[in-house]
């Protein structure tokens, strides 16, 4: 087995842990962190198989996304007083 295979398995494990976290946790900040975890798993796989340039761009997009997302979460917290995603039912219907 070549080294790529090990990295692929590691990447898959980390990715699945990230997905599990997104589905399990109720705090929206933790959910965002699990998204970061997923992104990193993908980075790992890409570096092991492909160009590292992709990693730069993914990292950049992740940074941007986190900053905007956290600003939104701050806004939501200001409005609703909580970050529990089960209370965000405004999209119903």
Partner 1 sequence: MIKKHWAGIVASLVVFLLFLTSLAAFNRVHTTGAFEVPLLNWFAVSGMSVTWGLLFDSLSTLMFTMITGVAFLIHVYSIGYMADDDNRARFFWYLNLFVFFMVILVLSDNFLGMFVGWEGVGLCSYLLIGFWSNNRSYLTAAKKAFVMNRIGDLGFILGLLVMFLTFGSVQFSEVFSLVQQVPANDIALILITFLLFVGVTGKSAQLPLFTWLPDAMAGPTPVSALIHAATMVTAGIYMIARSSALYELAPQVLTIVMWVGVATAVVGAVIALRQSDIKKVLAYSTVSQLGFMVASLGAGATFPALFHMVTHAFFKALLFLGAGSVIHGMGGEQDMYKMGGLKRDMPLTFSVFLVGALALSGCPPFSGFFSKDAILLAVHHASPIAFYTLIGVSILTAIYVARMVFLVFFGSQRSDTHAHESPAVMTVPLVVLAVLAAGAGFYHPELELIMLGGTVILLALIWGLTYPRYAVKAVDDRCDQFLSFDLVYHALIVTPILASGRLIHSFFDRDIIDNTAGGFGELISGLGQSLRSLHSGSIGFYLWMITAYVAVFLIGFSIWPF
Partner 2 sequence: MSITFFWIFSVIAVISALSVILTRNPIYSVLSLIVCFFCIAGHYLLMGAPFLSAVHIIVYAGAIMVLFLFVIMLMNLKDVPEFVSQWWHYILAGVAVSALVFGVSCQLFQSYGPRVIGDMSLKALSHALFTTYAVPFELSAILFLSAVIGVVYLGKTE
Q: What are phi and psi of 84, to 5 degrees?
A: -80, 120
Going by C-alpha positions, the residue among 32, 4, 1 that lies closest to residue 18 is 32
**Which residues of the chain form contacts with partner 2 (CB under 8 A)?**
2, 4-8, 10, 12-21, 23-27, 29-30, 32-34, 36-37, 40, 43-45, 47-53, 55-57, 59-64, 66-68, 70-75, 77-78, 82-84, 86
CA distance 70 to 13: 26
Write each residue from 19 to 58 as x if it is in contact with partner 1 (CB under 8 A), else as -, in one continuous string: x--xx--x----x---------------------------
């Amino acid at each position: 087995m070549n080294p790529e295979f090990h990295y692929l398995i590691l990447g898959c494990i980390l990715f699945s842990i990230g997905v599990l976290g997104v589905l399990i946790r109720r705090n929206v900040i933790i959910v965002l962190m699990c998204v970061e975890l997923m992104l990193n798993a993908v980075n790992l796989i890409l570096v092991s198989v492909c160009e590292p340039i992709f990693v730069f761009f993914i990292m950049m997009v992740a940074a941007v996304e986190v900053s905007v997302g956290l600003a939104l979460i701050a806004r939501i917290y200001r409005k609703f007083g909580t970050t529990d995603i089960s209370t965000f039912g405004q999209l119903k219907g």
